[in-house]
Amino acid sequence: MSNTDDAEIVHFDNVGLRYGTGKEVLTDISFTLFSGRFYFLTGASGAGKTSLLKLLYLAQRPSRGLIRMFGTDAITLPRERLPDLRRRLGVVFQDFRLVPHLSAFDNVALPLRVAGLPESEIVRPVSDMLEWVELGDRSHARPATLSGGEQQRVAIARAVIGRPDMLVADEPTGNVDPEMALKLLRLFEALNRLGTTVVVATHDAHLIRKVPDSLIMRLDKGRLADPTGALRYPPRRTVPVQGLDRSPAGQATGLPRA
Amino acid sequence: MIWRKGPPPLLEGFLHAGRKSDWREALRAENRLLPQGRLSGPMPWVIAIMIGLTVVATACGLALRNTARIASADVAGGVTVQIVHGAPSERDRQARAALAAIREVPGVVSARLVPQHELDALVEPWLGTAAGDDVNALPVPALIDVRLAEKASAARIRALRDAVVARAPAARVDAQAAWLGPVFEAISALQWLTGGLIALLAFATVATVLLASRNALGNHRATIEIVHMLGGTDAQIARIFQRSMAVDAAAGGIGGLLLGTVTTLLLGRQFAALGSGLMSLGGLGWGDWLAIACIPLAGVLLAVLTARFSVLAALRRML
């Protein structure tokens, strides 16, 4: 993490989330994310990872608590100002959410077009990005004709094309082979080195082990655990993932012992 | 190392990714956000029918207004004096006396004894002029057509009657406007009716566009949510919908204008063929045609504003 400058980028304070009148799916979530760091969010299925990510990418307002993003109170922010914050985020959705009527190229170009960039500044970066995720020859294909792995790569390309300040990825390597998973992880790391804060929700312990400087947040039944000190202030500069499984909390992540 | 060519060059390209394009490029970029189903659905046809009906209703309303205005101006100062007497010689004497008396009344611009051949023409449809008909044997009143400088008010009619009856006791003096009063009332009612029709058609257009916008929003909801998540603004999304609606409405408007104009011209020809004096007054002037030509523009504006506000209202319900 060469670009870490410890600037606060996201702060959650006693955040709770419930859908409708149901019970809370997230309870007393408090943490701070810092600029330029690489975070993994782990937890069993149903632990609330996707709900937490929804709060992070501003798809959901919490039922209670405070959220500050990029120095702005995201709770009281008028909704007409939300796009400004969202344009600073890159999101890889678990279900990809590609636009079905657009080609792979147009899907990847979407954030740049939303931002109003001219086509002359869109074509080359998007083409390069598609080449890089090995979809250069599929750039005109619509999502329905792409395999799950190809769709996932398009979704990732779309998330990173705008060089976001923070990348939020929900199981981004779930449908790709190990080689492509590692390649995509290297892309996230490259973005991270350029200063992008990366938050990846994953079950894949092997993936976590590939990013030794990453910080881990673990959700358990809607509550956040702090196995690596990611949530402490000041955060620990370097948290060897290998050390994770030696701690009781680390054992709870299910990561294999070194 | 799994990267064959190193980090993607786009990572350097990102550094200049904040520049804004000009509005034309932004427009083109926005148009790519959602599928543009222009002219493919029923909307242009629905709008064409609405605009066509509005054009016909407006043309009828304007023609009626012109008819009422011209006829009203014609008859406002008109007075008819009838000499109703059974004996032709006495009737003629009183008619001449009445004419002389009328010409002495202040405010009379002209007074004309309607010639016998015009009277014959008036009664011809009812009484006939075929060989053997003896129209002169019928006690058809003598008519004097009087034009006053100003409107034939009750006071002026009374003054005229006093002057005429003194010399021609068989005279009956009536303002022409009084005869046509029920006709003007009917025309006025028809004008209100066309106004109501136009309002209803506008309401139906708004309702149709509202439904179409909601339907389109429902169809594209997933895409709209994605665009929102990527930082798309409500205004951006609304612009896409309103542009699409503007294209549909413009196509429908042009079609509707043509349809309505042809119908109006055919109706005009039919009414002109009636040969009725009143109907022939109700032509459309250049100003009227200009107003009719503005109907599609108003339709487009109405459709675009309806689409914009309905989409914005729906988007406000999303986060």
Q: How many CB atoms lie under 10 A from the CB of residue A51?
A: 22
Residue at A241 is within a domain: yes
Mean per-residue pLDDT pooled into runs of 10, chain B (319 residues): 38 40 62 63 89 93 86 80 86 90 87 85 71 62 88 84 88 82 85 92 90 83 87 87 88 94 89 65 82 93 90 85
Residue at A159 is within a domain: no
Summarize the confidence of residues A104-120 as an average pLDDT.
88
Domain boundaries, chain B: 24-72+182-316, 85-169
pLDDT for residue B198: 93
Q: Is the pLDDT of residue A84 over 80?
A: yes
In the three-class reduction of DSSP (H, G, I as helix; E, B as strand; rest coil), residue A75 is classed as coil
Q: Is the pLDDT of residue A65 over 70?
A: yes
For Cα atoms A20, A21, A25, give the angle at the middle one, nearest 5 degrees. 75
Say how far apart CA B230 and CA B234 lie, in whole Å: 12
> Which is nearest to A1 in space by CA: A32, A33, A41, A30?
A33
Q: How many CA atoms lie within 13 A of B31 on its CB side?
A: 15
Q: How many CB pairs below 8 A link A and B?
A: 127
**How many domains, chain A?**
1
* Backbone phi, psi, residue B36, to 5°: -100, 90
Contact B142, B47 (CB under 8 A): no
Which comes out higher in pLDDT, residue B179 or A66? A66
Tell me how far apart the terminal alpha carbons of chain B are, to the nearest angstrom. Answer: 42
pTM: 0.68
pLDDT for residue B106: 86
Who contacts A38 (Cβ-Cβ below 8 Å, separation ≥6)? A1, A188, A189, A192, A197, A198, A200, A211, A213, A214, A215
| Paired sense of beta strands A215-220 and A223-225, if any | antiparallel
**Burial status of residue A8 (CB atoms within 10 A of its CB: 0-12, 13-18, 19 or more):** middle
pLDDT for residue B78: 85
Residue at A23 is within a domain: yes
Who contacts B101 (Cβ-Cβ below 8 Å, separation ≥6)? B163, B164, B166, B167, B168
Interchain CB contact of B117 with A (< 8 Å): no
Residue at A200 is within a domain: yes
Which comes out higher in pLDDT, residue A245 or A6? A6
What's the DSSP call for residue B87?
Answer: S
Q: Say yes or no for a CB contact (<8 Å) between A161 and B10.
A: yes
Q: How many CA atoms lie within 13 A of B237 on its CB side?
A: 29
| Paired sense of beta strands B78-83 and B108-113, if any | unpaired
Concatenating the DSSP letter of every residue in B163-177 gives: HHHHH-TTEEEEEHH
Say how far apart CA B286 and CA A95 lie, in whole Å: 61
Q: Is the pLDDT of residue A253 over 50?
A: no
Could you give the ipTM of this predicted complex?
0.79
Select from A57, A106, A158 the Cβ nearest to the Cβ of B32.
A106
Scanning every residue of chain A, which has its alpha carbon at the shortest distance from the alpha carbon of B227? Answer: A114
Select from B7, B29, B223 the Cβ nearest to the Cβ of A190.
B7
Say how far apart CA B168 and CA B164 lie, in whole Å: 6
Per-residue b or e along B181-198, where b marks 16 or more CB atoms closer than 10 Å to that residue's CB: eeeeeebeebbeebeebb
> Which residues on A lie below 8 Å from B16 (Cβ)?
121
Residue at A84 is within a domain: yes
> Which residues on B lie below 8 Å from A186 (Cβ)?
2-3
> Which residues on A lie below 8 Å from B15 (Cβ)?
163
pLDDT for residue A2: 42
Say how far apart CA B202 and CA A73 lie, in whole Å: 44
> Which site among A99, A103, A108, A133 would you substitute to test the B interface, given the most B Cβ atoms closer than 10 Å to its Cβ?
A99
Q: How many CB atoms lie under 10 A from the CB of residue A53?
A: 23
pLDDT for residue A181: 83
Q: How many CB atoms lie under 10 A from the CB of residue B300?
A: 22
* Backbone phi, psi, residue A218, to 5°: -120, 130
Interchain CB contact of B226 with A (< 8 Å): yes
Q: Say yes or no for a CB contact (<8 Å) between B14 and A132.
A: no
Contact B34, B220 (CB under 8 A): yes
> Cα–Cα distances in Å, from A40 out to A86, A159, A211, B229?
20, 17, 9, 21
Tell me which of A41-55, A157-171, B1-15 is least confident. Answer: B1-15
> Cα–Cα distances in Å, from A183 out to A164, A192, A234, B6, B215?
19, 14, 31, 11, 42
Say how far apart CA A40 and CA A170 lie, in whole Å: 10
For Cα atoms A32, A35, A38, give the angle at the middle one, nearest 5 degrees. 85
- Residue tagged 């053997």 (tokens): B132
Q: Say yes or no for a CB contact (<8 Å) between B228 and A86.
A: yes
Select from B15, B232, B316 the Cβ nearest to the Cβ of A83.
B232
pLDDT for residue B51: 94
Alpha helices, DSSP H, located in chain B: 10-13, 23-31, 43-76, 88-104, 116-127, 154-167, 176-219, 221-229, 234-274, 277-280, 286-316
Which domain, by its residues, includes A34?
1-88+164-171+195-258
> Which residues on A lie below 8 Å from B10 (Cβ)?
124-126, 128-129, 132, 161
Q: Is the pLDDT of residue A148 over 70?
A: yes
What's the DSSP call for residue A79?
Answer: G
In the three-class reduction of DSSP (H, G, I as helix; E, B as strand; rest coil), residue A220 is classed as strand
Residue at A38 is within a domain: yes
Minimal C-alpha gap between A249 and chain B (Å): 33
Who contacts B159 (Cβ-Cβ below 8 Å, separation ≥6)? B105
Interchain CB contact of B223 with A (< 8 Å): yes
> Which is nearest to A102 in space by CA: A149, A53, A157?
A157
pLDDT for residue B37: 58
Q: Which CATH number do you get for residue A80?
A: 3.40.50.300
**Burial status of residue A71 (CB atoms within 10 A of its CB: 0-12, 13-18, 19 or more):** exposed
- Residue tagged 């993003």 (tokens): A69
Scanning every residue of chain A, which has its alpha carbon at the shortest distance from the alpha carbon of B15? Answer: A163
Say how far apart CA B41 and CA B47 lie, in whole Å: 11
> Which residues on A lie below 8 Å from B229 (Cβ)?
57-59, 86, 91, 97
Q: Is the pLDDT of residue A197 over 90?
A: yes
Say how far apart CA B130 and CA A43 lie, in whole Å: 110
Contact A184, A173 (CB under 8 A): yes
